[in-house]
Structure 1
Amino acid sequence: MELKQFLSQLKSQPETIGFNDTMAIIDGYYSFMPTAFINGSVNNEANTNNGSCKIFAFGQLHNLSTDETLACFGDFYRVDVLQNAEGQDHGNIRNFIQSGWSGIKFDSAPLAER
């Protein structure tokens, strides 16, 4: 899938986006440098939770809304989190739902265009 097509699908049919689709787009179009980041009350050390790091950086680069960014997590968001509101898993997704973009802070830029 091309980047333009992915972004269009994300806006028009976010429920069809899967986590693996998102990772393939990010890995295909960007170089990733693991970096520490804060997501609300969650502190993530460099090289931990790299999937979340990539998605949040991608969301910032493309000015995605909170909902569009959450859709990039695919079933981790739609099934694991939304269908289990009291769950303790996927802390980065759950914190992003609460704090949105104001809670995201990177130590350095994790993504660079290839």
Structure 2
Amino acid sequence: MTQTRSEFNGRDSFTADSGRGLSFQDVPPEMMAGVDIYKNQTADMIEGGIAGTISLRTRRPFDQAGRQLAFSADWTRGDIAKETTPTFSGLYSDRWDKGELGEFGF
């Protein structure tokens, strides 16, 4: 999508290969909590995307109660190169209540 502004957890983001757009294929699906798409900017948003704004939200330790585990694996075989390339991604998230110190998340 051209002429869109992309955000990563509410912050402006860009990549070297596509200018101002975020390469969504670089973000593992286990990390994604949601994608917000805005066609028209509101007063509290940073302007810049002629065609709109896409905001990628990742999971955070305080989004859910307890421990969260996710893992995926993929193998791609190239017909011309005759090579197999593995891809792995995972997510570990947990939170702890430490009484007086409060709650901690990782």
Q: Give the TM-score band, short-chain normalised.
A: under 0.3
Larger RCO, structures 1/2 (Cα 8 Å, 6+ apart): 1
Structure showing the higher helix proportion among its residues: 1
TM-score (norm 2): 0.21
